[in-house]
């Protein structure tokens, strides 16, 4: 029993490394000399190198030999044999170390070892046989047959084919490698051919019966009657069929066996004919035996595999519960430990001892901590969601107390939740009681909070104008556009922010271009109603990776919006437009400019063109781009190829109508957006509607038969768009312009008419403003080298092009251009 206990404790190490030698001593069993019998040399228990004979693929009779087995000798070796003592009768250190490593196991008597091995399972014996060569030779010998039979009986393993050795039958049942290529973890075993093969090998070696003649044209079809077959092909994925599949090497081996027997007959060997008949009968019996027992064997194997899976699952569950109990003892909850079911380190079968736990806690504790933090954060997200809902309801009540024209100046709900007091209330932990009285207290001083934010914004705008003024030359165009009130005079500074030259660009939006319309703001009213940023309540409060509580940098950055600057190029563009329409840049407001150019009067509104923009051709028609005054400012400031002092011109009525058609289309596109509200009531305080819906509301609820914008209903866009799409107008092409001869007048008063013999002189759509007379050189030749600084008058540059460059019909903006 002592030896049995020592042996059982070694099986765990054997299974972890079955090829490792368990002894460092001599490779023979003490007191005995075992020579493997002839039957044993066909048995190979090496898991990665199983021969065909071990799987029974040859289906031949067991080999016999005429050699006599060695004479048996008495086993006189005791369990204490081989222990070395020193001169004083004490065990030396080397022997103690060998004893601790179970090196005395090979020195035990065979009858004792066999008695111990008989209590093991077949898989344990296979693992033991793979440890050392001496154990292998001993366990595959005839003397060990009783050990294998006893182990098979202990495990309830069915009896194998009579022609197959016990070790081979055990290796076939309990192995998991492909017997052809050595691929591991092959669970399917085909009892009809007594083989375990991977899918690739089955596809390669299995031959369907109907293709036998094409693959083996030299063989007789009758040979298949002697070869076992299976009904599961290589491409069937384990599904049976009515076809017969033969292993190709079984067919060739059977052919060799028959050829040998037939050759003996041809040589007239005595009894050769009877040997052939006996061989055929034997092979037929083997095949029938396999067909009769394969179903029972497969059913047993399926039950065993299911039992193994159940046992493995039970051990894994025990290990999982042990890990959970240890983590729960550290303060974690069951919902914090769900990650264990996806962690491979928790799916083992070993018992979680203190030593094992010292390794696992390093892996599991950070994950459990993260799961607990996520759980607490999720609970806080739900709490913050409910608190935001209460604030949203109260904010709607507050909006109903204000006029709809003021709603565009009110901050969005997401921004309100970040204000002082609101952010602390929403982000407080569970220990802080959240009450509606606290919310009411914040809204009692909400007017004061908004006034304070408005004053802070006004100061930032004034500072931006001062910074822009100081960055330019004193007395220059921008400096002149800033009135004395801002430069130290005594007029109210708030009037300065209403000037048309009070143009700002929001740094939180994309730089404006002719197709982008959110970047530029004109006057403090547009700035106050501009709420940049697209953060929602989910972005601010419900995402675990982002928190705006406290004084975080992200929260302060959002609260400090809009981040405006005053671009000098845009200011200079506004000044040019004001002078072009005869308004004073130092005193004209945004409302004055809108009224002058008629931005909201489609019949009389003005549109503008830019000299720097060349014509282009689409579908056989030539076009140029046109702008309303806001779009023109954005175009000049954002177009890097244009000089800030580039000349502008006013379009004629026909060209302006083409541009206004684009503006009208942009305006109509907003009619279907829910950004409209009734100005007679607070019905749409929390539910903005489309323009038509609001007009229907006015007719039915307020008896307004002809609702008018900005009187009966209001657009709560928050800003005035300057152009959403690139607007274009038609112009004459080069050939058409060359055939028309007109007198061209500049747009500025005091300019004389310039006679032209062709379209070489700029047409009306290319007029530009200038403060000089016609005798001053103000033209460049575009055909000359870029380094040339020669200047011309209009008639001079035309003559120059004809004489110097042989351009008979010079084109404006193509062959020559004005000095910017």
- Examine residue 498 and state whether it is found in any structural domain, yes or no: yes
Look at residue 720 in the predicted model and tell me its pLDDT: 54
Separation of alpha carbons 212 and 245, rounded Å: 10
Q: Which of 175, 205, 226 is the last residue of a domain?
A: 175
Q: Which of 546, 576, 604 is the last residue of a domain?
A: 604
Look at residue 71 in the predicted model and tell me its pLDDT: 58
pLDDT at 721 over 60: no
Residue 103: pLDDT band with limits 50, 70, 90 = low
- Examine residue 141 and state whether it is found in any structural domain, yes or no: yes
Q: What is the DSSP letter of 195?
A: B
Q: Quote the domain boundaries for residue 21.
A: 1-62+80-175
CA dihedral 738, 743, 746, 752 (to 10 degrees): 140
- Examine residue 754 and state whether it is found in any structural domain, yes or no: yes
CA dihedral 130, 131, 134, 137 (to 10 degrees): -10
- Examine residue 192 and state whether it is found in any structural domain, yes or no: no
- Examine residue 789 and state whether it is found in any structural domain, yes or no: yes
Q: What is the pLDDT of residues 53-93, one digit of tens each?
A: 333 333 333 333 444 555 555 444 333 333 333 444 444 44
> Is there a single domain that holds both residue 426 and residue 574?
yes
Pick from 135, 239, 129: nearest CA to 175: 129
User: Do 637 and 520 contact (CB within 8 A), yes or no?
Assistant: yes
Mean pLDDT over 152-172 rounds to 90
- Examine residue 611 and state whether it is found in any structural domain, yes or no: no
Per-residue tokens: 94: 């080397």
Across 22-59, b (16+ Cβ under 10 Å) vs e yields bbeeeeebbbbebeebebbebbbbbbeebebbbbbbbb
Q: Which of 584, 604, 624 is the last residue of a domain?
A: 604
Mean pLDDT over 498-509 rounds to 83
> Is there a single domain that holds both residue 24 and residue 170?
yes
Mean pLDDT over 699-715 rounds to 92
pLDDT at 677 over 70: yes
Q: What is the pLDDT of residues 391-449, one digit of tens each?
A: 999 999 999 999 999 998 898 888 898 888 898 888 888 777 888 899 999 999 999 99
Mean pLDDT over 751-765 rounds to 36
Pick from 537, 532, 576: nearest CA to 557: 532
- Examine residue 756 and state whether it is found in any structural domain, yes or no: yes
- Examine residue 228 and state whether it is found in any structural domain, yes or no: no
What is the SS3 string spanning 559-611? HCCCCEECCHHHHHHHHHHHHHCCCCCCCCEHHHHHHHHCCCCCCCCCCEEEC
Question: What are residue 452's DSSP bridge partners?
Answer: none
Q: How many domains does the chain have?
A: 3
User: Do 137 and 39 contact (CB within 8 A), yes or no?
Assistant: no
Look at residue 493 in the predicted model and tell me its pLDDT: 59
Output the average pLDDT for the chain. 77
């Amino acid at each position: 029993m002592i030896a049995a206990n020592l042996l059982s404790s070694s099986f765990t190490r054997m299974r972890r490394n079955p090829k490792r030698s368990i002894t460092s001593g001599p490779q023979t069993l003490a007191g005995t000399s075992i020579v493997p019998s002839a039957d044993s040399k066909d048995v190979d228990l090496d898991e990665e190198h199983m021969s065909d004979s071990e799987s029974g693929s040859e289906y031949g009779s067991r080999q016999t030999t005429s050699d006599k087995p060695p004479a048996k000798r008495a086993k006189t070796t005791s369990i204490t044999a081989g222990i070395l003592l020193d001169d004083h009768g004490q065990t030396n250190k080397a022997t103690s170390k060998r004893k601790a490593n179970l090196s005395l196991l090979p020195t035990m008597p065979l009858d004792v070892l066999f008695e111990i091995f008989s209590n093991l399972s077949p898989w344990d014996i296979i693992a033991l046989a793979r440890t050392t060569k001496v154990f292998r030779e001993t366990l595959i010998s005839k003397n060990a047959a009783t050990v294998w039979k006893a182990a098979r009986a202990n495990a309830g393993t069915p009896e194998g084919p009579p022609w197959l050795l016990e070790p081979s039958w055990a290796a076939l049942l309990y192995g998991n490698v492909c017997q052809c290529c050595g691929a591991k973890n092959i669970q399917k075993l085909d009892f009809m051919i007594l083989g375990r093969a991977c899918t690739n090998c089955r596809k390669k070696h299995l031959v369907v019966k109907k293709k036998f003649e094409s693959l083996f044209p030299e063989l007789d079809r009758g040979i298949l009657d002697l070869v076992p077959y299976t009904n599961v092909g290589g491409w069937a994925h384990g599904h049976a069929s009515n076809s017969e599949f033969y292993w190709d090497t079984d067919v060739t081996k059977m052919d060799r066996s028959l050829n040998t027997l037939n050759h003996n007959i041809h040589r007239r060997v005595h009894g050769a004919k009877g040997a052939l008949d006996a061989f055929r009968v034997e092979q037929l019996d083997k095949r029938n035996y396999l067909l009769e027992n394969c179903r029972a064997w497969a059913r047993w194997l399926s039950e065993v595999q299911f039992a193994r899976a159940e046992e493995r699952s039970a051990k894994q569950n025990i290990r999982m519960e042990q890990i959970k109990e240890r983590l729960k003892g550290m303060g974690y909850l069951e919902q914090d430990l769900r990650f264990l079911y996806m962690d491979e380190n928790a799916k083992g079968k070993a018992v979680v001892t203190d030593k094992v736990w010292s390794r696992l806690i390093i892996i599991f504790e950070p994950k459990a901590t993260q799961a607990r933090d996520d759980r607490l954060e999720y609970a806080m997200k739900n709490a913050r969601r409910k608190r935001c809902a209460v604030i949203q309801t109260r904010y709607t009540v507050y909006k109903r107390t204000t006029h709809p024209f003021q709603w565009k100046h009110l901050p969005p709900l997401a921004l309100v939740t970040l204000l002082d007091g609101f952010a602390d209330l929403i982000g407080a932990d569970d220990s802080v009681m959240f009450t509606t009285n606290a919310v009411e207290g914040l809204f009692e001083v909400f007017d004061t909070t908004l006034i304070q934010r408005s004053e802070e914004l006004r100061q930032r705008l004034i500072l931006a104008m001062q910074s822009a003024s100081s960055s330019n030359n004193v007395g220059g165009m921008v400096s002149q556009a800033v009135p004395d009130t801002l430069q130290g005079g005594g007029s109210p500074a708030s009037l300065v922010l209403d000037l048309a030259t009070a143009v700002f660009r929001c740094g939180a939006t994309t730089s404006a271009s002719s197709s982008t319309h959110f970047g530029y703001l004109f006057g403090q009213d547009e700035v106050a109603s501009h709420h940049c940023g697209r953060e929602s309540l989910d972005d601010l409060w419900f995402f675990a990776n982002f928190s705006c509580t406290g004084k975080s940098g992200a929260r302060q950055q959002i609260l400090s919006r809009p981040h405006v600057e005053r671009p000098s190029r845009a200011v200079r563009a506004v000044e040019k437009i004001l002078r072009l329409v005869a308004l004073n840049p130092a005193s004209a407001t945004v409302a004055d400019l809108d009224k002058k150019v008629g931005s909201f009067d489609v019949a009389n509104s003005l549109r503008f063109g830019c000299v720097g923009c060349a014509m282009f051709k689409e579908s056989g028609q030539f076009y140029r781009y046109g702008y309303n005054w806001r779009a023109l400012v954005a175009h000049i400031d954002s177009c890097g190829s244009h000089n800030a002092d580039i000349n502008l011109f006013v379009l004629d009525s026909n060209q302006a109508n083409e541009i206004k058609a684009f503006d009208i289309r942009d305006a109509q596109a907003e009619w279907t957006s829910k950004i409209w509200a009734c100005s007679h009531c607070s019905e749409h305080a929390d539910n903005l509607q489309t323009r038509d819906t609001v007009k229907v509301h006015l007719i039915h609820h307020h008896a307004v038969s002809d609702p008018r914008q900005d009187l009966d209903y209001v657009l709560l866009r928050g800003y005035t768009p300057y152009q959403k799409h690139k607007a274009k107008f038609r112009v004459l092409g080069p050939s058409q312009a060359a055939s028309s001869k007109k007198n061209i007048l500049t747009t500025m008063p005091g300019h004389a008419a310039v006679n032209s013999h062709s379209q070489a002189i700029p047409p009306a759509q290319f007029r530009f403003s200038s403060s000089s007379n016609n005798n001053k050189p103000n033209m460049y030749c575009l055909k000359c080298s870029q380094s040339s600084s020669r200047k011309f008058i209009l008639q001079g540059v035309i003559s120059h092009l004809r004489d110097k460059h042989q351009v008979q019909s010079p084109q404006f903006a193509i062959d020559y251009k004005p000095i910017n």
